[in-house]
Structure 1
Amino acid sequence: MSEPYDVVVRATRACVDGAFRPAALAVSGGTIVAIGEVDARFEALRDETLPDSQVLIPGIVDSHVHVNEPGRTDWEGFASATKAAAAGGVTTIIDMPLNSIPPTTTPEALDLKRAAAARQATVDVGFWGGAIPSSLGHLEPLHDAGVFGFKAFLSPSGVDEFPHLSTEQLHQALAEIATFDGLLIVHAEDPGVLAAHENAGGVGYEDFVASRPEAAEKTAIDHIIEGLRATGARAHILHLSSAGALPAIRAAKAEGLRLTVETCPHYLSFAAEGIPDGATQYKCCPPIRDEANRELLWQALVAGDIDLIASDHSPSTRELKLGHGGDFGLAWGGISGLQVSLPAVWSAAQACGIGLESVLEWMSVATSRLANLTAKGSLTVGSDADFVAFAPEETFTVIAEHLQHKNKLTAFEGSHLHGVVHTTWLRGTPIFSIDQPVDAELTGTLLTRIAQPSLTGETSWQ
């Protein structure tokens, strides 16, 4: 070629086409333009070789992040969230439509989100829209404005400005979204089941789990499946915690319904037996369940019944999370874990005998596929040059004060994890280095939904 590549990165182990092999990746204009043998004679302005202890992997795509800006920026914000993402090897996030004020339920609210993110993003950022009772019948304009799909709650969300849908409204939303082949992503807990199991709260973790039983997830997922069968729409179940719902999910997929499912690092890392009373840093909805349930979630990932893993990073202030004397009924229900999601999942996977290739399939490839981000999630020619130098055998202990999250608290505090992110690149530009400060301009791009491929016959997004 007449001009040298912008950068070449060489590694004795690079995850190319889903398998690790020696490789050199050449980048021009932010895109991977050539992949050769590790000693390929590529001419470049910068030529970097990773030590043998580090592997080159695609950047993580986290499709479930609550940034909370504007409106609740004291909980988190685009500056802190995207710095945390970069430090954790996450190169793309998709922001949830709550807990910001206003929520992303109109094109005007999306404009506010985009304006806030544009000034501060270190990584690429996309946006989910919201489906609430008042927005039903008006979803297509927000879809046309570029959101990747619509989030709905089937039980109270925890914030008044984002009310949940009834079962009838859920089916209305699915029917409406089916007309333009959009995607509904759903917090699946049934409010009737929750009301029947409501208790007085308190510091007992067992009491908290009892207040949000598996039946709440199973019933809500049954309602989603009924709606898919009636409308032909697409839906994605968020943060599955209950293995009891897996038989219905398997049957729905076998039937050909367009359903995908995620779970989260905390459900794969922790078990109810290890959560002390009063430890509200572990509170999330639906809750972390027992060890036997955790093992079944791992088995479902391996079997393909669960499609992907996303962080559900849902931070709040310390007062909201810890300021109620350990009362699970009063504490904010969300776990902060964006920066440590990759090492947390890798550590738990390693303990189950699962390889890093599978972790990347669930956290990069499948999450990219969910949002049809065709240039993300893999090291292939033509993809964005988003990659990470990751040392899978190095260990560290999570110290919340060292994280980039705005509020320095996490359920992973004190966890001893495998896997250290050394360098993160976005389109070939370093945006994080563990060894030295990265003095780079804000590099994040605001992502917009692109047209989905044809979903007739064998679909590519499942």
Structure 2
Amino acid sequence: MDLVIRAPRAITGDTETACTVGVRDGRIATVEPYDAPLEGARQVELDGDVVLLPGLVDTHVHVNDPGRSEWEGFETATRAAAAGGVTTIVDMPLNSLPPTVDVAALEVKRKTAAGRVHVDVGFWGGAVPGNAAELRPLHDAGVFGFKCFLLHSGVDEFPPLDSEGLEQAMRQLRAFGGLLIVHAEDAGTIDGAPAAHGRDYGGFLGSRPPEAEHTAIERVVELARRTGTRVHILHLASGGALPMLAAARAEGVPVTVETCPHYLSFTAEEIRDGATEFKCCPPIREAANRERLWQGLADGVIDCVVSDHSPCTPELKRFDSGDFGEAWGGIASLQVGLPAVWTGARQRGFTLADVVRWMARRPAEQVGLDRKGRIAPGCDADFCVFAPDEAFVVDAARLRHRNPVSAYHDRPLAGVVRQTWLRGEPVTGDAPHGMLLRREDP
């Protein structure tokens, strides 16, 4: 073996166990009992206060590079990912310039990322008005699926699909087995709500009511039912949509669902006036709603937890005015997602195996990355060494994404990432050795 890791505690499958992992040529060659006489060129003995996890897979990351690299970039985003135990990210198609809505733009993004990534990186394509002819070429070029909005995306160069465009895109994707991922908020519902303005978080919350999510999800589910297209609901914030989603899944509609650490961590009641670091869309809702999302994870209606890491410069958060109507909506959390979710999970009786399922295995399964998200023979030797009982307080200035802004600043969390390995090599943040991934046909 090139590498042997002896772990008194490791998450393999759905359990915590003691094991010895053998790595050859960047892949897991074998998983043996802890006392197995396995030899390797490098031997690592883990202490009993850490747990060996598979590297996390975050399928919802806005790197914003090229074009808005002052917001974030491939080097900084992937350093932050590695510091948080994330070994694979999939980059969103918008906020970069050009947006990833055709093959030429995808190649620009790949050239920008080449040689600069500290973890493995894949790419989503975009479904926007007028690019129907580009969907199949993007699919063939290796994007993992297609993102669309049903209302203004926040940037003019990535416009939303209307009802006719949504159905057209879904029928086209169904023809070649593509996946549509949807920012599910209904434009009409939000247009009819009071506009967000001023420092009052309650006013912002009222401008993005849960009915906007429910109406949009209902439309997407109905089209998925009719067309058979695989769809994925992004960043679910409203627990009120869970019964509808559970019923759709029970009848075989091909729909999966994610939520995010901030919806599981924060509540509307605790967000003070002017605290625009908490602005995101859909918004963070009330405490009772947060508990419904945790129940959705327990019931298996919500498949996975991913960051929706959407950073910007401090100026765009409008800390000068604290105006929720003017501030950029997005939360930077790529590095702290694992401890944030673990902090809430352990309080509610979940295990680290549950967290690994939500943040590693299921995101990998959703995008078809069969060699990611598990400690099992044949998988990439991607690992996170995690100390679940060590506590820390988040300092935004010490996080590795580009700008020192985070809703988690000053928040105490449980769990520290001690080390991250990518294909059998430690990730130090010095020499990048991540790869650019392409979707593989089954």
TM-score tier, shorter chain, comes to over 0.9
Give the aligned CA root-mean-square deviation in angstroms.
Answer: 0.9
Partner of 2:297: 301
Structure 1 residue 200, shift from structure 2 partner: 4.8
Is 2:274–2:319's contact at 8 Å kept on the other side of the alignment? no
Amino acid at match of 2:439: R
Q: Is residue 439 of structure 2 the alignment partner of residue 415 of structure 1?
A: no
Structure 1 residue 346, shift from structure 2 partner: 0.4
Partner of 2:376: 380
SS in structure 1 opposite 2:41? strand
Q: How does 1:246-261 map to 2 (within 5 A)?
A: 246-261=242-257
Partner of 2:385: 389
CA distance in 2 between counterparts of 1:166 and 1:202 reads: 30
Partner of 1:118: 114
CA distance in 1 between counterparts of 2:251 and 2:15 reads: 31
Partner of 2:360: 364
Structure 1 residue 73, shift from structure 2 partner: 0.2
TM-score by length of 2: 0.99
Partner of 1:266: 262
The C-alpha deviation readout for 1:103-142, integer Å capped at 9, x for no partner, is: 0000000001111111200000000000000212331011
Amino acid at match of 1:413: H
Q: Count residues in correspondence.
A: 442
Is 1:137–1:176's contact at 8 Å kept on the other side of the alignment? no
Amino acid at match of 1:107: V
SS in structure 2 opposite 1:338? coil
The worse-fitting range, judged by mean Cα deviation, of 317-326 and 361-370 is 317-326
Partner of 1:457: none
Q: Is residue 66 of structure 2 the alignment partner of residue 70 of structure 1?
A: yes
CA distance in 2 between counterparts of 1:360 and 1:322 reads: 36
Partner of 1:33: 29
Aligned counterpart for 1:150 among listed residues 143, 146, 152: 146
Amino acid at match of 2:340: A
CA distance in 2 between counterparts of 1:200 and 1:31 reads: 50
Distance 1:197 1:62, change over 3 A: same
CA distance in 1 between counterparts of 2:346 and 2:209 reads: 29
The C-alpha deviation readout for 1:398-420, integer Å capped at 9, x for no partner, is: 00010001001100001100010
The C-alpha deviation readout for 1:189-224, integer Å capped at 9, x for no partner, is: 000000000325111000100000000000000110
Q: Is residue 436 of structure 2 the alignment partner of residue 450 of structure 1?
A: no
Aligned counterpart for 1:400 among listed residues 396, 401, 423: 396
SS in structure 2 opposite 1:15? strand
The C-alpha deviation readout for 1:212-262, integer Å capped at 9, x for no partner, is: 000000000011011112211000000000011112111111111100000
The worse-fitting range, judged by mean Cα deviation, of 394-403 and 41-50 is 41-50
Is 1:324–1:330's contact at 8 Å kept on the other side of the alignment? no
Aligned counterpart for 1:203 among listed residues 199, 205, 221: 199
Structure 1 residue 323, shift from structure 2 partner: 3.9
Aligned counterpart for 2:281 among listed residues 285, 291, 296: 285
Q: Is residue 256 of structure 2 the alignment partner of residue 230 of structure 1?
A: no
Query: 5+ residue gaps in structure 1?
Result: 433-437, 453-462
TM-score by length of 1: 0.94
Is 2:120–2:434's contact at 8 Å kept on the other side of the alignment? yes
CA distance in 2 between counterparts of 1:68 and 1:301 reads: 29
CA distance in 2 between counterparts of 1:305 and 1:26 reads: 35
CA distance in 1 between counterparts of 2:101 and 2:434 reads: 23
Following superposition, which runs of at least 4 residues in structure 1 exceed 3 angstroms of deviation?
Answer: none
Is 1:69–1:113's contact at 8 Å kept on the other side of the alignment? yes
Percent identity of paired positions between Structure 1 and Structure 2: 54
Partner of 2:190: 194
Aligned counterpart for 2:57 among listed residues 56, 61, 65: 61
Structure 1 residue 324, shift from structure 2 partner: 4.8
Structure 1 residue 354, shift from structure 2 partner: 0.9
Amino acid at match of 1:210: G
Query: 5+ residue gaps in structure 2?
Result: none
